[in-house]
A and B are shown apart, each in its own frame.
Chain A
Amino acid sequence: MSEDLAIRLRGVVKRYGTITAVDGFDLDVPEGTCVGLLGPNGAGKTTTMKMLTAQAIADEGELEVLGHVLPGDSKAARAKSGVVPQLDNLDVTLTVEQNLLVFAHLYRIGRHDRKAAIEWALALANLADRRDTRVDKLSGGMRRRLLIARALVHRPRLILLDEPTVGLDPQVRQELWALIDGLRSEGTSILMSTHYIEEAQRLADTVTIMSHGKEVASGPPAALVAEYAGTEAVEVYGPPARLTEVEAAARASGARTRRTGTSISILGNGHGLDGERRAANLEDVFVLLTGEEIS
């Protein structure tokens, strides 16, 4: 058992027929930290999340959640965890409060503590004034906040966030980021899968980049950027012929490049080439390491 790790995965493999969704994956989530699982669609993030709640069973490897070995001891781990799914699965004909009441029962909160737990979750998600509103009358942002409140109603030690802000407008996304950041500050361990670079960079203490079911890099966002992309990149704009020319010149000088639609980025401080200077970022790292653009 690993007492100081909220999640510990070693050599985890999950196959669906001939497809290997997760391929020898290792992951550590230290207690009280937020780890971002970053990768494009199909990288194996959601499968990993499902294995952590025993809704998918690993073919190989070791999984521990909050010191419980999975899948055998998964139920005890789930009692201390909360899950915010990628797809909204609220009971839409029930009110906000009824949704929380149901999960207060499912998470076995005692009768005397139930009301206080629901009030706390409503306040946390800023939904107290919507307690009697049916879920199908809520906005997308409110539904997401309710999903988070539902996952937290029993005050879990660990929360699994599967693409928590996917499909939301920027303002709502900022609100949710503040909520997640608050949880991290209070010491809740968080594993968050995302394909939003900014989300991982802002919220995660450590980022694990995943591609084709494997870890390709792991570390604090700033350290990953510094290690793989340097401090600055030079962005060159122009017609396709010009970009091809710049790309060839950059490569000849040993620079690493990435095409970004109408421009080309020369990483590693630009290697003396002219263009618009900008700070290197996690997206540069991701593209360099995986060869895939994040959608």
Chain B
Amino acid sequence: MIGGRLERSAISGVLVREIVNFSSFWKSTTFSSTVQPTIYLLAFGFGFGSLVSQVAGYDYVDFVATGTVATGVLFASVFPAMFGVFVKYQFQRTYDAILAAPVDVEELATAETLWIATRAGVYGSVPILVGIIFGLDPAWGMLTIPFIGFIAGFGWGACGILIAAIVKSIDGFSYVSSAILTPLFLVAGTFFPLTQLPEWAQVLGKFNPLYHCVQLVRDASFGWSWPADLGHLAVLVGFGLVMWRLSIWRLAKRLID
């Protein structure tokens, strides 16, 4: 029976397309998704690390290594989602072809988000591996980091799809990147604790999903903090669900006349 909502075969069909396509460009994507956060880690960890030995009770290199996971997740999710989705519907007309098959917008957006989240989970874990090479102590909790990256990447991936479905031209991404994503990226506790910021910025930071990703990764690495970590997880799941539904709604408006 064809015609239900969120059919597994429709979602897997779109995922197969993504995986087959990925086989043709995985090297460049892997290079940029791993080298970029690694450079951040090395530059901040060893650059600032030589000036600041400890932050919030952790060695600065360890602090940044765990924080850079969130950067890796963001870079591997929101940006590929924004550019990839925009190019696919505006220039390549890929979605016209997919929607002519038995796939609806809800399934299309869900599959795209799942694929981006998977990549974000994998690529987001790279800074931890680099951190371990440079002295970060391995911990069992670190095994959960790909899953944390997946959940955060799901929200940011859906957010990227939402942005791509809203902007009228590809130049619109410059505004989003400068005015929204860069502040979120900086006010997440990645490179310095939020407690160093003015109180209003600390309050705003708590609304930043990236901050909750950073906190979860840090606690996974240095020791869980219950029930605070459940709160962080709830924020990421909530962010993902809201963005997922919004992205479907907006993409449908863009793709269906």
- Chain A residues close to B by CB (< 8 Å): 14, 16, 47, 50, 53-57, 73, 75-76, 78-79, 81-83, 85, 87, 89-94, 98, 101-103, 105-108, 150
| B12 within 8 Å of A (CB atoms) | yes
- Shortest CB-to-CB span from B19 to chain A, Å, is 9
Given contacts A75-B104, A82-B100, A106-B98, 16 further A-B pairs with CB under 8 A are A47-B257, A55-B257, A75-B2, A75-B3, A78-B100, A91-B21, A93-B21, A94-B24, A101-B20, A102-B13, A102-B20, A105-B12, A105-B16, A106-B14, A106-B101, A108-B102
Among A14, A54, A106, point to the contact of B17 (Cβ < 8 A). Answer: A106
| B256 within 8 Å of A (CB atoms) | yes
CA distance A107 to B101 in the complex (A): 6
- Shortest CB-to-CB span from B223 to chain A, Å, is 44
User: What chain B residues lie within 8 Å of A53 (beta carbons)?
Assistant: 99-100
- Shortest CB-to-CB span from B11 to chain A, Å, is 11
- Shortest CB-to-CB span from A105 to chain B, Å, is 4
User: What chain A residues lie within 8 Å of B93 (beta carbons)?
Assistant: 85, 87, 89
CA distance A90 to B17 in the complex (A): 12
Chain B: interface size category: 20 to 34
Closest Cβ neighbor of A83 among chain B residues: B100
User: What chain A residues lie within 8 Å of B24 (beta carbons)?
Assistant: 93-94
Contact present for A103 and B101 (CB under 8 Å)? yes
- Chain B residues close to A by CB (< 8 Å): 2-3, 9-10, 12-14, 16-17, 20-21, 24-25, 92-94, 96-104, 255-257
Among A50, A78, A108, point to the contact of B13 (Cβ < 8 A). Answer: A108
CA distance A4 to B10 in the complex (A): 29
User: What chain B residues lie within 8 Å of A57 (beta carbons)?
Assistant: 256-257
CA distance A75 to B97 in the complex (A): 14
- Shortest CB-to-CB span from B41 to chain A, Å, is 31
Among A73, A85, A102, point to the contact of B16 (Cβ < 8 A). Answer: A102
Contact present for A94 and B21 (CB under 8 Å)? yes
Contact present for B17 and A78 (CB under 8 Å)? no
Most B CB within 10 A of own CB, among A50, A55, A79, A102: A102
